[in-house]
Amino acid sequence: MKLAVVGATGLVGTKMIEVLQERNFPVDEFIPVASERSLGKEVIFGGKAYKVVSMQDAVNMAPDVAIFSAGGNTSLEWAPAFAAKGTVVIDNSSAWRMDPTKKLVVPEINADVLTADDKIIANPNCSTIQMVMALSPLHKKYKIKRVVVSTYQSVSGTGAKAVTQLMGERVGEDVPKAYAHPIDLNLIPQIDSFLDNGYTKEEMKMVNETCKILRDDTIRVTATTVRVPVKGGHSEAVNIEFENDFDLIEVRNLLSAMPGVILTDDPANGKYPMPLYAEGKDEVFVGRLRRDETQPNTLNMWIVADNLRKGAATNAVQIAEYLLKAGIIK
């Protein structure tokens, strides 16, 4: 197994390497790939040091799998070059997600769509992944009509510079800014750029990706995404209207039975999901389950996950694991 990680020195790339090692993904030859400024740097994998190589050198090495976390433009330029060599690309950017010829995959939900012909596979947006993990079993049972979601997204979703800004502002240091506004003691109701409809790209990702992953274009989704002064872990308040009525006990059972979901819902004893306690974990945590008393067949819930793990690195590695298990890659 020859495996490349593209963007190996970045925040998500580093997490991907960590997750690959933790999950003992079988790698015989590891290829770390990064931008020109990182060429020649060493990356440790499996106790060995590997030198960072250029994109073209990595393409020439024809890895079996290349996990990308290097931005949309890089992916649009280089993923097809890897694919042409027979490499299966698992891409963490937004570049291919809504391409009708590409699969958008959360393994616990729709890995069955993958075939040997899929050479570029899209990893969904971090906020979408954790939300659909909770929505999927409920949609199968009750059929979702509409979702209203507000997100509380940590600075690690922006990258290392944003983490530096938050921690620097917290201690009064003058640090490089990832955001146009202060983030410590503040909330920024903008993630990504604004579109003509008044929504941000991040908000529309959640709208479009949810329907594609759940394979149902009739689901209506509206989102407000907010950056909060939290170092890691994304949280979401989600209001779900179903076509059919539900039983709260059954909802709990469905969520508890969903692989990769942990129900943490004991508010009387102060137990509910929080990003601080999701850090470093691969599961999606769901709590604060309660009926919306303002309209029928509607449920409120609170969803939390580590955005760098299940929201990015872990999901990508799980896709690779599925391909291996299914015999699509060998």
Instruction: Kindly state the tokens that stand for 37.
Output: 């400024």
Q: CATH no. for residue 79?
A: 3.40.50.720
Radius of gyration, alpha carbons of the chain: 20
Catalytic one of 139, 181, 211, 234? 234
Q: How many domains does the chain have?
A: 2
pLDDT tens figures, 271-309: 999 999 999 999 999 999 999 999 999 999 999 999 999
Residue type, 171: V
Residue type, 124: P
Q: Report, in this order, helix, strand and coil percent for the chain, each rounded to 5.
A: 35, 25, 40
Three-state SS string across 52-84, please? CECHHHHHHCCCCEEEECCCHHHHHHHHHHHHH
Sign of torsion, CA 226 34 70 72?
positive
Q: Is 80's pLDDT higher than 90?
A: yes
pLDDT tens figures, 171-205: 999 999 999 999 999 999 999 999 999 999 999 99
Identify whether residues 186 and 267 lie together within a single domain. yes
Identify whether residues 172 and 297 lie together within a single domain. yes
pLDDT tens figures, 128-146: 999 999 999 999 999 999 9
Let me know: does 300 contact 288? Beta carbons within 8 Å: yes
Let me know: does 131 contact 286? Beta carbons within 8 Å: no
Identify whether residues 47 and 148 lie together within a single domain. no
Query: Which residues form the domain of 320?
Result: 2-124+312-325
Provide the edge-to-edge strand list for the sheet that holds 234-242. Answer: 220-227, 144-153, 234-242, 298-305, 284-291, 261-263
Let me know: does 145 contact 244? Beta carbons within 8 Å: no
pLDDT tens figures, 251-278: 999 999 999 999 999 999 999 999 999 9
Active site residue 126: yes
Q: Is residue 6 part of a domain?
A: yes
* Mean pLDDT value of segment 65-75: 95
Q: Is residue 239 part of a domain?
A: yes
Identify whether residues 119 and 151 lie together within a single domain. no
Q: Is residue 89 part of a domain?
A: yes
Buried b (16+ CB within 10 A) or exposed e, 88-107: bbbbbbbbbbeeeebbbbbb
Q: Is residue 13 part of a domain?
A: yes
Identify whether residues 74 and 152 lie together within a single domain. no
Identify whether residues 93 and 213 lie together within a single domain. no
Vertex 51, ends 84 and 12: CA angle to 5°?
Answer: 70
Which pLDDT score, from 0 to 100, does residue 330 have? 82
Q: Is residue 330 part of a domain?
A: no
Burial category of 244 from C-beta neighbours within 10 Å (exposed 0-12, middle 13-18, buried 19 and up)? exposed
Identify whether residues 255 and 157 lie together within a single domain. yes
Q: Is residue 193 part of a domain?
A: yes
Give dist(CA 283, CA 309) in Å, integer. Answer: 9
Closest CA to 185 of 171, 205, 174: 171
Identify whether residues 218 and 101 lie together within a single domain. no
Is the pLDDT higher at 330 or at 216?
A: 216
Which pLDDT score, from 0 to 100, does residue 60 have? 98
Identify whether residues 292 and 177 lie together within a single domain. yes
Active site residue 211: no
Q: CATH no. for residue 143?
A: 3.30.360.10
Which pLDDT score, from 0 to 100, does residue 289 have? 98
Closest CA to 224 of 198, 194, 189, 185: 189
Give dist(CA 166, CA 179) in Å, integer. Answer: 10
Q: What are residue 304's DSSP bridge partners?
A: 235, 285
Per-residue pLDDT band for 166 (boundaries 50, 70, 90) equals very high
3-state secondary structure of 102: coil
Calculate what percentage of the chain has a pLDDT beyond 90.
98
Identify whether residues 106 and 181 lie together within a single domain. no
E-only strand ranges, the chain: 2-6, 29-33, 42-45, 48-51, 65-68, 88-91, 103-104, 120-122, 144-153, 220-227, 234-242, 261-263, 284-291, 298-305
Q: Is residue 270 part of a domain?
A: yes
Which pLDDT score, from 0 to 100, does residue 35 have? 86
Identify whether residues 205 and 242 lie together within a single domain. yes
Identify whether residues 119 and 135 lie together within a single domain. no
Is the pTM higher than 0.85? The answer reads yes
pLDDT tens figures, 32-59: 999 888 898 999 999 999 999 999 999 9
Which pLDDT score, from 0 to 100, does residue 57 have? 97
Give dist(CA 58, CA 197) in Å, integer. Answer: 40
